[in-house]
Structures are given as structure tokens and as C-alpha cells.
Homo-oligomer: A and B are copies of this chain.
Amino acid sequence: MSPQRIAPRSAAGFELRAGQLLTVIDPEGVQVADLLAFSRDDPREVISNGRTFDYEETITLTTGNRLWSNRSNVLLNIEADSVGRHDFLLTPCSEQTFRHFYPDKPVHRGCFGNLAEALKPWEIEPDSIPVAFNCFMNVPVDEAGKVRVLPPVSRAGDSVSLRAEKDLIIGLTACSAYDSNGGSFKPIDYQITD
């Protein structure tokens, strides 16, 4: 298929068959895309940052690393990555995080609300949304464990490609938060290839 566009501050939900490759593209640069993956056959199986950190033995995930589920299965393999900096620590921005971090700015339902909406056709409840794999999100952790959210280092056209190990339901956003993308709201593109 040709690349699809996710409009700024929105999300898409779609299915990805086992063996297909999903490429997430930052068309303008310095933007974040929150990625969720659920098993299509039983959406109670979902990507897990903890199981991924367990088996990959790192919190820095790039080409060659795999994203694992809460049932200890590989859901996605990272096959290519032109950026090398993503985040799997922090949760999708939400109405509550907007109130907390941006008390002077208009409240938005954020990636969390957008994902909840996009995943409704598969009857996935908002409470079942875990930590997303945040493509291009730049979250350094210092020696004391403190985390900061910096603008992504991705440039226009950068991408990360993930191959499905199982039939999956995917949720994918063009991020709505101020800090994660340097203060501007931009689209995200994605492409599915066999």
C-alpha cells in the first residue's frame, strides 16, 4: 500500500498480519508516534515494556531488538531504524497529563484518548492501554534515574520499521503533547509492506 497519513494530534487503528512490515515515518522531523500492539486473536495479549526490558536486557531499543508481550511472546521485531532513539518508559499523553504538565494550556485528550477511540472497533478498553512504544520520543535517563523529555532527534523522512511476529491490532498516533515534539504538532506517516 502507499503511505498513509495520520493527521496532527490524532491516531489510527489497523490490523497488521504476521510477516508484514510496518514502517513508521516522521515526515517533517521532530515528531513522536505512540505505537501499541495487541494480539488480534486475543487482545488481552499486549506489548509490555517490562517483558521487553527483561528479555532484551536494555531500555534502549533499536534495530535487532524485539517488542515482547505480557505473555512472553515476541510481537514485533525492529528490522530497521534510522534514528536509534525511542522511548518505552512513559505513557501516552492524556487529559490528566495535560492538566498536570501544561496547566496553562488547553486540555486535550492526547494520544491516550486518540488511541482509545482508534481501538474501539476491537473492543479494547481504555484501561487496557499499556505503556506505548514511543517511536522517536527522546527520553534520556541520567545516572540518578531522573528522566527528561527532550525534542526527538529524528529528521524529516526518518523512520523505524517493525515486522509482525503474530497477527496484530495496531494503534498509532501523531503525538499531541508539547514537550515530546518540541512544541509543534505534526503528522506521522506509515506504510505496510509484505
Distance in angstroms from A55 CB to nearest chain B CB is: 7
- Decide yes or no: A55 and B100 within 8 Å by CB, A50-B49, A71-B127 being known contacts: yes
**In whole Å, how far is A115's beta carbon from the nearest beta carbon of chain B?**
13
- A143 to B89, alpha carbons, bound, how many Å? 15
The one of B59, B90, B91, B148 in contact with A89, judged by C-beta atoms closer than 8 angstroms, is: B59
Q: List the B side residues contacting A131 at CB < 8 Å.
A: 48-50
Partner of A53, one of B48, B144, B147: B147
What is the bound-complex CA distance between A100 and B66, given in angstroms?
A: 15
Decide if A50 touches B90 in the complex (CB within 8 Å).
yes
**B147 lies within 8 A of A58 (CB):** yes
Q: Is the CB of B59 within 8 A of A141?
A: yes
Residues of the B chain whose Cβ atoms lie less than 8 Å from the Cβ of A144: 58, 60
Interface residues on A, range: 35 or more
Copies in the complex: 2
Contact across chains for B146 and A57 when beta carbons are under 8 A apart: yes
Interface flag for A130 (CB, 8 Å): yes
Known contacts A71-B127, A127-B44; decide if A90 and B147 are in contact (CB<8 Å): no
| A55-B100, A59-B145, A147-B59 known; A127+B50 contact, CB < 8 A | no
A188 to chain B, nearest CB (A): 20
- Is B58 in contact with A91, judged by CB distance below 8 angstroms? no
Residue contacts A-B, CB under 8 angstroms, 24 given: A44-B125, A44-B127, A45-B127, A48-B131, A49-B89, A50-B89, A53-B90, A54-B90, A54-B91, A58-B146, A58-B147, A59-B89, A60-B144, A60-B145, A60-B146, A70-B127, A71-B96, A71-B127, A72-B94, A72-B96, A72-B97, A72-B100, A130-B130, A141-B141
